[in-house]
Amino acid sequence: MWKTSVSKVEPNHIITRGYRQEDLIGNVPFTHVFFLLVKGRMPDEKEARMIDALITSSIDHGVTPPSTHASRIVASAGVPLPTAVAAGILAVGDVHGGAIEQGAKILQEWVRLMHDNKWSFEQTAQKLLEALKKEGKRMPGFGHRIHTKDPRTKRLFELAAKLKITKDHIKLTLAIEARFAEKKPLPINVDGAIAAIISDMEFDWRLGKAFFLLGRAAGLIAHVYEEMTTQKPMRRMCTQEAEYDGPWEREI
Amino acid sequence: MWKTSVSKVEPNHIITRGYRQEDLIGNVPFTHVFFLLVKGRMPDEKEARMIDALITSSIDHGVTPPSTHASRIVASAGVPLPTAVAAGILAVGDVHGGAIEQGAKILQEWVRLMHDNKWSFEQTAQKLLEALKKEGKRMPGFGHRIHTKDPRTKRLFELAAKLKITKDHIKLTLAIEARFAEKKPLPINVDGAIAAIISDMEFDWRLGKAFFLLGRAAGLIAHVYEEMTTQKPMRRMCTQEAEYDGPWEREI
Amino acid sequence: MWKTSVSKVEPNHIITRGYRQEDLIGNVPFTHVFFLLVKGRMPDEKEARMIDALITSSIDHGVTPPSTHASRIVASAGVPLPTAVAAGILAVGDVHGGAIEQGAKILQEWVRLMHDNKWSFEQTAQKLLEALKKEGKRMPGFGHRIHTKDPRTKRLFELAAKLKITKDHIKLTLAIEARFAEKKPLPINVDGAIAAIISDMEFDWRLGKAFFLLGRAAGLIAHVYEEMTTQKPMRRMCTQEAEYDGPWEREI
Amino acid sequence: MWKTSVSKVEPNHIITRGYRQEDLIGNVPFTHVFFLLVKGRMPDEKEARMIDALITSSIDHGVTPPSTHASRIVASAGVPLPTAVAAGILAVGDVHGGAIEQGAKILQEWVRLMHDNKWSFEQTAQKLLEALKKEGKRMPGFGHRIHTKDPRTKRLFELAAKLKITKDHIKLTLAIEARFAEKKPLPINVDGAIAAIISDMEFDWRLGKAFFLLGRAAGLIAHVYEEMTTQKPMRRMCTQEAEYDGPWEREI
């Protein structure tokens, strides 16, 4: 007999984390129920507003991200909507949404070190970046191919401040950004912002991709539906400029 | 040049269905943004409450549904969280969540016929069931393996009534249920309820699985996370009582 | 207790369709074992050569098909190899590989009708195309965006003839091609060829996508591996010329 | 312009790794073409027989492995065959097939160390196991839940010996097994055997899961097809003995 603490189903009776599902439906907003599902307790009012904002900040970023692109391509091949959406979710990987997970892991580790050693934020930021550099790694969640100032980061951090959610992980993230700015500005992107905020909300870094995935699912549904209803099947969605550089034609 | 009306991304500027993403984040609840994403306009207050309830009603139904089961099994094989969640979403199929799509399609077709022919709800329910019977089909969205009275259906229909969303598709669904009750009760399940409500909300039936998928994604994340953090890899999750009935052992 | 006739596993003893797996390994070529797996019996020598050829004919078609494109995009997001390959397999849909399934279904149905009614191939081809036209459908497996004469079709049909596998389904396919040629040539593509051949080999049309999927898996692995080892993560793989035509910027 | 050396497609002309696809079809067995696809050159006769055996050894292991189980569950939800097969492929993870990748990586690293330091196989096996132990890790590819002597391992190693493919990676694997046997026998399982053989064949360890995936795809197709054609949709496939240990019922 194995244990689960997520839910229990009996005839005419469905319990989710201790609550009757009929009590949740229409009374507790969906994203708050998501908080309940992963945390095991209801969010307070501030947490509730913050988690909704986090998920909304991941909904969509146009047609070019791997997740959206994969979903539209698979949709164009004539498959059910969930199959196409799932293809996009498969693209939530170490370099697409993964900065949330990796960033949160690093932040959580270094805030612990900071407390243990009574370092300042500036000291910690400096040591953290040196340590990463030594390993030949970069701090995830900074810089963006398109945005020099990610509008989602600004909005999320303002909200976190207003809701008094800002604690040491956000502060350390800002200290890292300040450190970068001394040489060459490398602004916090939306992944970096989410990594910091979920860490200040005491979420396990292993859930990092989950917030992104859930928000993005909404956008993927919209893209897949648009593809299915307005575009020709198997259309040429984009121009791949690939050149063959394999062996010259030969006999078997 | 192909067209999309979902979103537009420029440096430091992200537009979703006409709104700046930073305006949506934290101001418009996620499920209302989902309505915006698929409908192209903001929900009014009643639609907003209803869509949130619909999505919440799909979050979870214990460990046995194909979606949850598939996600946990794939998670137990040692893969990233999004890969395991996507496996569960692949299981949103014609017999798992599919009753929403098929049910909505039938309801939308027969409400049109009802109006065209000025039939009563009772007449329409009767004709609809006879037509399905002739094709050897059953009305999707009725009956449940576990629940004789699905608590989610009751809650969703009460809410639809309270929000004055109830229109002809819900009424026809109730007429069908009444018709069944004359012989042998076959109650409306949660899929049937969602099918009726999204039809009264004027959603395309082809989006039927999307509501279920989005809600279920939240539950799948919780199950995958629990599996990853509390269970042994590749554990024996369940007892398959399969018996080999193929050819007897033989030589090549 | 449910039944399976695929395999049976006991300590130190693995039976597949009646054969000990250690007897199959290295003695019976993989594609012949695949025939065994889906048919339940060993192929004869001709069937064996034919099925291997069918699967090989699906391995790859450059970087542009939805399957390959989806796999490479998902690979570029930083996920395990199987996750990226699976994303490509999800793209094996009704309009990408699906012509095998649909074509085989139609051919099998009309060869039955031909026999029942003692029609000639020419008559059957004519009636079939008229029937499809009436339904507003096209015959799957004919025409190709790139090839006017698909080299794989030629090779597969030559092999089928040489192996004396050619029977009524291939003949009907050729009669359909001849019928098209009277107006405007629409050559049999590789899907149409596979549909005809598997039908002459007495495969269930519901397995149509399986041959394509298995062959394509090999090509997807090669593309995913190349992407992982030679390209930058999240690179811009292609140019999407999408234009936003949604609502003008507005306030919430 | 980016480069690919896999294939090139022009009107009526398809080149795979330098060969015309019509030359490969029916002339070069599929698994040899797979070797060509991932290695970029044709296998010699011995390599050709070996790679076919490796892939065949992964086809199937009954209904209980995560890959097969996931495929059947997803199939039972009413989805297209490729969607269900892909769900199984998603389950090829770090603890299901992953021992090939991890085992090959370790073997390749330690054979290099062995050569550099002129250690004997026995010394290398000892040092390797000590190093893993220090890191709290176990050697992947040893031991099996069901088999005390995996019949596939025996067969694959015999074939490797016969084909003179056996080199230092297989020898080191045997030395590790001997080392285990001194205390408590922990036999090489099929993953361990494949890891050793592909290493002796000079395959990149990052391809480890690919051999397993390709072989298993054949078995998954057979299971999905059997599920679709012989079982009821959404049947109860197995008994999950899960007990809810979450919070007691409570009010929102």
> Does B59 contact A86 at a Cβ distance shorter than 8 Å?
no
**Structural domains of chain D, count:** 2
A19 interface with D at CB cutoff 8 Å: yes
> Vertex B147, ends B145 and B148: CA angle to 5°?
105
Same domain, C64 and C158: yes
Q: Best interface-test mutation with B: which of A14, A150, A214, A237 has the largest number of B CBs within 10 A?
A: A14
Q: Best interface-test mutation with C: which of A79, A85, A100, A230 has the largest number of C CBs within 10 A?
A: A79
Instruction: Give the C-alpha distances (Å, rounded to integers) separating D239 from B63, B163, B238, B240.
Output: 11, 41, 5, 7
CA distance D144 to D142: 7
Same domain, C36 and C71: no
> Does C55 contact D7 at a Cβ distance shorter than 8 Å?
no
pLDDT at A190: 97
Q: Which residue has the tokens 């030969």?
A: A250
User: Which residues from chain C sit within 8 angstroms of residue D13, using beta carbons?
Assistant: 151
Same domain, A188 and A67: yes
CA distance D234 to B94: 10
Q: Can you give the CATH number for the domain in which A124 is found?
A: 1.10.230.10
pLDDT at B230: 97
CA distance C25 to C16: 11
pLDDT at A241: 81
Pairing status of strand D242-244 against strand A2-4: parallel
Whether pTM > 0.90 for this model: the answer is: yes
CA distance B89 to D243: 24
Nearest to D94 among B73, B78, B92 (CB): B78
Establish if A201 belongs to a structural domain.
Answer: yes
Instruction: Give the CA count within 13 Å in the CB-facing half-sphere of C78.
Output: 15
User: Which residues from chain D sit within 8 angstroms of residue C62, using beta carbons?
Assistant: 6-9, 14
Answer yes or no: are the C-beta atoms of D60 and C6 closer than 8 Å.
yes
Instruction: List per-residue pLDDT tens for chain B, 252 residues long.
Output: 899 999 999 999 999 999 999 999 999 999 999 999 999 999 999 999 999 999 999 999 999 999 999 999 999 999 999 999 999 999 999 999 999 999 999 999 999 999 999 999 999 999 999 999 999 999 999 999 899 999 999 999 999 999 999 999 999 999 999 999 999 999 999 999 999 999 999 999 999 999 999 999 999 999 999 999 999 999 989 887 899 999 999 999
Q: What is the pLDDT of residues B51-82, one digit of tens each?
A: 999 999 999 999 999 999 999 999 999 999 99
B26 interface with C at CB cutoff 8 Å: no
Q: What is the DSSP string of B41-93?
A: S---HHHHHHHHHHHHTTS---S-SHHHHHHHHHHTTT--HHHHHHHHHHT-B
Over C180-237, what HEC string results?
HHHHCCCCECHHHHHHHHHHHCCCCHHHHHHHHHHHHHHHHHHHHHHHHHHCCCCCCC
Q: What is the pLDDT of residues A80-101, one digit of tens each?
A: 999 999 999 999 999 999 999 9
> Does A90 contact C79 at a Cβ distance shorter than 8 Å?
yes
Residue in chain C nearest A234 by alpha carbon: C95
Task: For residue D200, give the amino acid letter.
Answer: D
Answer yes or no: are the C-beta atoms of D216 and D97 closer than 8 Å.
yes
Tell whether ipTM is more than 0.95.
yes
Same domain, C29 and C71: no
User: Which residues from chain B sit within 8 angstroms of residue A237, using beta carbons?
Assistant: 2
Nearest to B246 among C1, C17, C80 (CB): C17
Same domain, B16 and B53: no
User: Which residues from chain A sit within 8 angstroms of residue D247, using beta carbons?
Assistant: 5, 17-18, 40
Same domain, C97 and C206: yes
In b/e form, how buried is each residue of D119-138, taking b as 16+ CB within 10 angstroms? bebeebbeebbeeeeeeeee
Instruction: Give the CA count within 13 Å in the CB-facing half-sphere of B4.
Output: 30
Task: For residue B184, give the amino acid letter.
Answer: K
Establish if B25 belongs to a structural domain.
Answer: yes
Burial of A5 (0-12, 13-18, 19+ CB in 10 A): middle
CA distance C142 to C85: 27
Instruction: List per-residue pLDDT tens for chain D, 252 residues long.
Output: 899 999 999 999 999 999 999 999 999 999 999 999 999 999 999 999 999 999 999 999 999 999 999 999 999 999 999 999 999 999 999 999 999 999 999 999 999 999 999 999 999 999 999 999 999 999 999 999 899 999 999 999 999 999 999 999 999 999 999 999 999 999 999 999 999 999 999 999 999 999 999 999 999 999 999 999 999 999 989 887 899 999 999 999
> Does D87 contact B87 at a Cβ distance shorter than 8 Å?
yes
Same domain, C51 and C35: no
> Does A240 contact C238 at a Cβ distance shorter than 8 Å?
yes
CA distance B102 to B125: 16
Same domain, A70 and A127: yes
A29 interface with C at CB cutoff 8 Å: no
**Is C168 strand, coil or helix?**
helix
Of A25, A147, A59, A203, the closest CA to residue B26 belongs to A59
Of D25, C70, D21, C151, the closest CA to residue A234 belongs to C70
pLDDT at B122: 98
Other Cβ atoms within 10 Å of D9 Cβ, number: 19
Instruction: Give the C-alpha distances (Å, rounded to integers) separating A34 from A29, A57, B75, B81, C243.
Output: 9, 15, 19, 16, 34
pLDDT at C51: 98
Establish if B199 belongs to a structural domain.
Answer: yes
Answer yes or no: are the C-beta atoms of A43 and A51 closer than 8 Å.
yes
Establish if D251 belongs to a structural domain.
Answer: no
Establish if A241 belongs to a structural domain.
Answer: no
Establish if C26 belongs to a structural domain.
Answer: yes
| Distant-in-sequence, close-in-space partners of A252: CB < 8 Å, separation ≥ 6 | D19, D23, D24, D27, D28, D42
Answer yes or no: are the C-beta atoms of A81 and A224 closer than 8 Å.
yes
Same domain, A72 and A152: yes
C133 interface with B at CB cutoff 8 Å: no
Q: Length of chain B, please?
A: 252
| B151/chain A closest Cα distance in angstroms | 6
**Is A142 strand, coil or helix?**
strand
Which chains touch D (3+ CB pairs under 8 A)?
A, B, C
pLDDT at B76: 98
CA distance A141 to A167: 18
Same domain, A168 and A224: yes
Nearest to A12 among B52, B89, B147 (CB): B147
C34 interface with D at CB cutoff 8 Å: yes
Establish if A250 belongs to a structural domain.
Answer: no
Instruction: List per-residue pLDDT tens for chain C, 252 residues long.
Output: 899 999 999 999 999 999 999 999 999 999 999 999 999 999 999 999 999 999 999 999 999 999 999 999 999 999 999 999 999 999 999 999 999 999 999 999 999 999 999 999 999 999 999 999 999 999 999 999 899 999 999 999 999 999 999 999 999 999 999 999 999 999 999 999 999 999 999 999 999 999 999 999 999 999 999 999 999 999 989 887 899 999 999 999
Bridge partners of C244?
Answer: B4
Answer yes or no: are the C-beta atoms of A14 and A21 closer than 8 Å.
yes
pLDDT at B145: 87
| C35/chain A closest Cα distance in angstroms | 26
Establish if C67 belongs to a structural domain.
Answer: yes
Regions of chain A with pLDDT less than 70: none
Nearest to C23 among B83, B241, B252 (CB): B252
Same domain, D38 and D160: no
Domain assignment of residue B33, given as a range: 1-43
CA distance A110 to A120: 11
| Distant-in-sequence, close-in-space partners of C205: CB < 8 Å, separation ≥ 6 | C101, C102, C104, C105, C107, C108, C195, C198, C199
Of A193, B202, D82, A116, the closest CA to residue C101 belongs to D82
Residue in chain C nearest D40 by alpha carbon: C222
Which tokens hold the place of C4? 């399976």
Same domain, B173 and B191: yes
